[in-house]
Amino acid sequence: MTTHSRRLFCQAAGVAAGSLLNLEGLSAAVEAASTPGQRPRLKITDVRTAVTGSLHVRIYTDQGLFGHGEAVDSISGAVPIIQGFRWLLMGQDPLKVEAHWERIRTSGIFAGAQAGQYITALTAVEIALWDLAGKALGVPIYQLLGGKTRERVRVYCDSGTNNRADPNAKQFISQIIDLGFTAAKIDVDDAADPARFDRVNWTANNAEVDHIVDKVAFMRESLPKNIELAVDMHGRFDLGSAKRVAKELEPFRLLWLEEPVPPENIDAMADVRQSTHTPICCGENLFLRHGFREVLEKKAADIIMPDVQKCGGLLEARKIADMAHTYYVPMAPHAQASPMGSMATCHVMAAIPNALVLEWHWGHPARRTEQWKRYVKEGDIIQKGYITVSDRPGIGLEMDDDFVKTLLRPGSSWFAPSVA
């Protein structure tokens, strides 16, 4: 942007050049002062991080506008990874999202950019770029991903209970029903099951299989018929155990059985799927389109579940969903993210045709639910088991910085400026 056009742009926004632009003013100015071919030229001035239970990334520009991205799970080494590739973004136009993503990914092929922490770090950056692009252009992210196919996204509750001996079970199950969820999920892998003979090997004996079946039976008895139930085996069991459990759970007509075997061997996952008519779901530990190609080609899953906060980003999740759609496979993203990340995922789920349901993991313990409600200034974004997709620019939520700062991981900075 030239000095002259920058002055005009800032005048349109109603603020003095060089001062911090407010978001609504900036979006209005972009709409008034730009055409698709003549949008304001933003330059990236910094990439900063903060780590809570999630990795948060903010990308700043010379116009005072920033984008926010979140990543989860494989984040322990993400901050130095981002500082390592930050120079590829400095001074660049943030709206060239795909170009930046591909450049960062291909520049890291000898540094682990095929999966894991590198891709998780890149994911947070990619989401921040989309938030920034949406804010700069004055449109919600779903508009940049193809537009809306649905107004709201169905959410399921990871229940926090799974057995009749749990004194809190009644309370958690009542919560699922009272909050209006139409689906729930339980975990059935139990390293502390007294029937286990070995602390390391995960071959399920008869008693363990009985315990798993009883957990599912208890939840199925406790939930109304119209609330669907998914079951997670957390990728721990061996192939024979997984096939036994999948078969024994067939009468419960599950929404899905998740990661019945570990995620690395797709042939084993396909073997389980072929052995049962219980639907098989996997993908929370896979990365990029490349991670899902084999799952789809080998027909290893009825449902895929990339975690949009670690699989590569919003556009990558859209591409994974599109690949799956050609196999008539729906997508039900795994999610641990805060409301910021969850809403970012909802922009993808709004845009794709084959969205099934989104995970909500903050129902247990109660303290986490309070965090969920306070995380963004808009409050609880889940209403009656659905998230209405924001129509505001970018992700469309404002993080409550004062509150989230209290969750900062010891030793983490709060979006401190990068050292040049």
* Pick 208 or 232: Cβ nearer Mg ion: 232
* Pick 144 or 317: Cβ nearer Mg ion: 317
- Check the CA dihedral 43-46-50-51 and report its sign: positive
* Pick 153 or 233: Cβ nearer Mg ion: 233
Q: Which segment (39-47, 137-145, 232-240, 262-270) binds Mg ion by CB under 5 A?
A: 232-240
Count the site residues for Mg ion by CB under 5 A.
Answer: 2
Q: Which segment (116-124, 209-217, 218-226, 253-261) binds Mg ion by CB under 5 A?
A: 253-261
CB-based contact 176:159 (threshold 8 Å): yes
* Pick 341 or 396: Cβ nearer Mg ion: 341
Residues 284-323 that bind Mg ion (CB under 5 A): none
- Give the distance, in angstroms, between the CA of residue 85 and the centroid of all CA atoms in the same chain: 22
Q: Which of 73, 158, 189, 232 is in the footprint of Mg ion by CB under 5 A?
A: 232
Q: How far is the CB of 203 from Mg ion (least distance, A)?
A: 20
Coil, helix or strand at residue 176: helix
Instruction: For residue 49, give the DSSP letter.
Output: E
* Pick 73 or 232: Cβ nearer Mg ion: 232
Q: How far is the CB of 32 from Mg ion (least distance, A)?
A: 46
Q: Which segment (139-147, 161-169, 230-238, 321-329) binds Mg ion by CB under 5 A?
A: 230-238
Residues 254-273 that bind Mg ion (CB under 5 A): 258
Query: Does 359 interact with Mg ion (rule: CB under 5 A)?
Result: no
- Give the distance, in angstroms, between the CA of residue 159 and the centroid of all CA atoms in the same chain: 18
* Pick 140 or 279: Cβ nearer Mg ion: 279
CA distance 391 to 381: 13
Contacts of residue 225, Cβ cutoff 8 Å, sequence gap at least 6: none
Query: What residues form DSSP beta bridges with 152?
Result: 388
Residue 239's alpha-carbon distances to 267, 301, 414, in angstroms, are: 10, 15, 45
* Pick 27 or 159: Cβ nearer Mg ion: 159
Contacts of residue 396, Cβ cutoff 8 Å, sequence gap at least 6: 134, 140, 141, 343, 390
- Taking CB atoms, the residue at the shortest distance from Mg ion is 232
Burial class (CB in 10 A: 0-12, 13-18, 19+), 110: exposed
Q: Which segment (13-21, 71-79, 231-239, 340-348) binds Mg ion by CB under 5 A?
A: 231-239
Residues in the site for Mg ion, rule: CB under 5 A?
A: 232, 258
